[in-house]
Amino acid sequence: MGAVIQNLWAKKGRIKFPGGAALPFWGFASSANGKPQIPGPLIKARAGDLVTINLYNHLKKNISLLFPGQQFIPRPVKENGVFVSYNTPAAPGDCTSYSFTAARPGVFLYESGTSPEEQVSMGLYGALVIYPRGYDDLLSPDYHTAYCGNTGTGFDVEKVLILGELDSRLNMAADTGSRFNMPDYNPDHLVINGRSYPHTLLPDNYGLLSSQPVGSGLGIIPGQRVLLRIINAGLQNHTFRLLGITARVVAVDGWPLKADENSLNATYLKNTITVAPGESYDLIFTVNGQGQYFLHHRDFNHPGKGNRFPGGMATRLTATLFESAGVPAAPLDLSCALINRKGVKLSWKNSSTGEEGFVIERKITGEDNIELLAILDNPGRQEYTDSTVLPGISYSYRICAYNSAGASKHSNICRIDTNNIEQGPEKLTCTTMYGKRADLAWSGSNARGSGYAIERRADNSEDFQTIAEVGPNTTFYRDLSVVNNTIYTYRVKAVFPAGAACHSNECVTVPKAAPLSAPDQLRSVYVTDKSVFLVWDHDSSDENKFHIERKTGAGPYIEIDVVANSQTWYTDKDVQKNGTYYYRVRTHSKSEGFSDYSYELLVNTP
């Protein structure tokens, strides 16, 4: 039997999320000088191997490791009779070592056993995959199987997806040594292998994600048997869907559902699966058609940072008939130019085939940080416009092409500075008044330019559109083309004959109509033992309707009818002798919803 030795250095680091967010985290590095990573290094072993983990603690707190699912008896440490660590810890600056025999194949976690609510949340976890002994021996019946040759777990492509989540507030608190109140835990970053969509699509070891080195995009050939190994390192349940795919669940927690040729076959089919914290599921499937398949979180209330779609725990499988041709070649001849009303336009020559897309990186001269500006998730692109530039700044850009085999070398760097662009408009405010309009005001002058462009974005549409242009001495604009109850985001851009200027700040407003007034003066003008004739006043001019509600005795109000807006009366013919009825009326318009109720009217029938 073999031996597997893995050294882990626990360290502080920073991780990045789409949109520019970054968080401090704690993770394991695989070398003394290496960067910590989330999840920790994937440890691979064979059944029967002796696994030794040497843990070097470069953090300021005690840490330890637990190996759930292994035949490993932890040695908890207590103070005053209470656990302070579930296993022997390494003190800051110290080292400790754990070893055990990898008893059975499967996919497992290793994770911190000291204040795990904090330390596992901070990123001190990773996966351990144990293979059957002959899994890489062409002649063995166990070749390319997850759980030996007679368990129906043969595969062509294997992918480990470690689900996790992060609550930014916890990371900030732990980083500064303060305590986060765990009952408030409500993660805002959901990750697969430490990355949020669309970063998940980038290849392994993508340079700018040095602490999140593992991608989860999958490129396969139709017909290949895909072994998807999902393990939840988070603190919450996650429901994961394979859209367009029905998979066979072949193992749970590393226990095959068909243990050997004589045991019954308890595998089953699923397309959506809820994975509890610490659980693992091995799924096997094939896809027949070429194309893209999303593997994503079905807990749609957590799509990702800012709770916009798409984001968070999602990745993609791409089935193509031909295997990718390897790492794509670097794009050539990157050039950048200021483009009127657009920002900085990048152009390049695409010299590769078989790329999945391109990544744009940007750096501000004088700063260290290189920003992962955009992922262009489609092949063949030759240009991109960065509309997020600010004035008075010198930018450098470089790009690369990527596919599942990896990222190309970078293109040349192009530099552009916006120094010579005049300061643009600022302090943009927008206000709405009742009645379909939005008023914009800003400050600044555009004496050398040709004026201002007013740009607007509605609701969830992605792009700003220019709705008007005004002269250089203007600082006010009234937008009469709004629709009530729509969210509008405005920005104003100074326009120059020779190129783009920068944008103002953005402001958001929601124009509203005057609220619907409630029907007034509800009265009964004619009451018999068979009918009640009601009348009310309303000054509504829209396409409103009136909703009439009635209550009998102590019962609830029930809507008895709806009438058109021109009709401010109603006859209730469904009444009985000596009845006690209460009525109320409200009006409704499609755009404004319901008004308040009229006051309540009591009617006693004779």
Determine the Cα angle at 128 with ends 119 and 40, to 5°.
40
Find the shortest distance in angstroms from Cβ 360 to other proteins.
10
Binding mask 193-212 for other proteins (x = CB under 8 A): -----x--------------
Residue 254 contacts other proteins per CB under 8 A? yes
Using CB under 8 A as the binding rule, the residues of this chain from 495 to 514 that contact other proteins are: 510, 512
172 binds other proteins (CB under 8 A): no
Q: Is 594 in the site for other proteins (CB under 8 A)?
A: yes
Half-sphere exposure of 162 (CA within 13 A, CB side): 27
Say how far apart CA 129 and CA 43 lie, in whole Å.
6
Q: Confirm or reject binding of residue 447 to other proteins (CB under 8 A).
A: no
Question: 486 or 576: whose CB is closer to other proteins?
Answer: 486
| Torsion-angle region of 364 (φ positive above 0: left; ψ -120 to 50: alpha; else: beta) | beta
Q: Using the rule CB under 8 A, is 481 a contact of other proteins? A: no
Q: Is 188 among the residues that bind other proteins (CB under 8 A)?
A: yes
Report the C-alpha gap between 65 and 42 in whole angstroms: 15
Establish if 19 lies at the interface with other proteins (CB under 8 A): no
Q: Interface with other proteins includes 300 (CB under 8 A)? A: yes
Instruction: Check if the beta carbon of residue 238 is closer than 8 Å to that of residue 313.
Output: yes
Q: Which residue has the tokens 């709770």?
A: 307
> 376 to 415, contacts with other proteins by CB under 8 A?
376-378
Q: Which of residues 128 and 494 has its CB atom nearest to other proteins in the complex? A: 128
501: its two tokens: 């200027």
Distance of closest approach, residue 295 Cβ to other proteins, in angstroms: 11
Rank residues 70 and 145 by Cβ distance to other proteins and give the closer one.
Answer: 70
Q: Between residues 274 and 340, which has the closer beta carbon with respect to other proteins?
A: 274
582 binds other proteins (CB under 8 A): no
Query: Stretches 19-27, 303-311, 471-479, 566-574: which one binds other proteins (CB under 8 A)?
Result: 303-311
CA angle 566/559/597 to nearest 5° reads: 65
Q: Which residues of 90-129 are buried (b: 16+ CB within 10 A; e: fewer)?
A: beeeeebebebebebbbbbbbbbbbbbebbbbbbbbbbbb
Contact 285, 170 (CB under 8 A): no
Interface positions, 258-277, toward other proteins (CB under 8 A): 264-274, 276-277
Could you say which residues in the range 62-121 bind other proteins, by CB under 8 A? 66-76, 78, 81-84, 86, 113, 115-117, 120-121
Between 116 and 354, CB nearer to other proteins: 116
Q: Which is nearer to other proteins, 115 or 446 (CB)?
A: 115
Cβ neighbours of residue 505 under 8 Å, at least 6 residues apart? 426, 427, 428, 491
Q: Which amino acid makes up residue 128?
A: L
Does 460 engage in binding with other proteins (CB under 8 A)?
Answer: yes
Question: Cβ of residue 182: shortest distance to other proteins, in angstroms?
Answer: 4
Q: Shortest approach of other proteins to residue 314 CB, angstroms?
A: 8
Find the part of the chain contacting other proteins (CB under 8 A) among 297-305, 393-401, 422-430, 517-525: 297-305
The C-alpha atoms of residue 291 and residue 377 are separated, in whole angstroms, by: 14
Residue range at the interface with other proteins (CB under 8 A); choices 245-253, 362-370, 418-426, 527-535: 245-253
Q: How wide is the angle at C-alpha 580 spanned by C-alphas 576 and 583, nearest 5°?
A: 100
- DSSP states of 41-84: PPEEEETTPEEEEEEEE-SSS-B-EE-TTSS-----EEETTEEE
Rounded CA-CA distance 422/407 in Å is 38
> Nearer to other proteins by C-beta: 494 or 518?
518
139, 462, 566, 577: residue in contact with other proteins (rule CB under 8 A)? 462
The answer to whether residue 515 forms part of the interface with other proteins (CB under 8 A) is no
Q: How many chain residues are in contact with other proteins, going by CB under 8 A?
A: 97
Binding to other proteins (CB under 8 A) within 118-137 occurs at: 120-121
Report the amino acid identity of residue 140. Answer: S
Whole-angstrom distance, CA of residue 599 vs CA of residue 355 = 67
Per-residue binder mask for other proteins (CB under 8 A), 336-365, x = binder: ------------------------------
- 582 Cβ partners below 8 Å, 6+ apart? 550, 551, 552, 557, 600, 601, 602, 603
State the Cα–Cα distance between residues 489 and 438, nearest whole angstrom.
11
The conformation of residue 182, written as its DSSP 8-state character, comes to G
Which one of residues 299, 417, 439, 469 is an interface residue with other proteins (CB under 8 A)? 299
Closer residue to other proteins, CB minimum distance, 222 or 326:
222
Q: What is the largest CA-CA distance in the chain?
A: 98
The reply to whether 480 sits near other proteins by the rule CB under 8 A is no
Is position 434 an interface residue for other proteins (rule: CB under 8 A)? no
| Residue 236 lies near other proteins (rule: CB under 8 A) | yes
| Shortest reach from residue 392's CB to other proteins, in Å | 27
Contact range with other proteins by CB under 8 A, out of 9-17, 139-147, 347-355, 555-563: 555-563
d(CA 278, CA 230): 10
Of positions 181, 419, 541, 578, contacts other proteins by CB under 8 A? 181
Q: Which is nearer to other proteins, 64 or 446 (CB)?
A: 64
Query: In the complex with other proteins, which residue's Cβ is closer, 190 or 209?
Result: 190
How far is 358 from 378, CA to CA, in rounded Å?
7
What are the backbone angles phi and psi of residue 184, rounded to the nearest 5°? -85, 0
Q: For residues 306 and 471, which CB has a smaller minimum distance to other proteins in the complex?
A: 306
d(CA 83, CA 232): 24
- Single residue of 19, 32, 92, 186 touching other proteins by CB under 8 A: 186
First to last CA, the chain: 98
CB of 56 to other proteins, least distance (A): 22
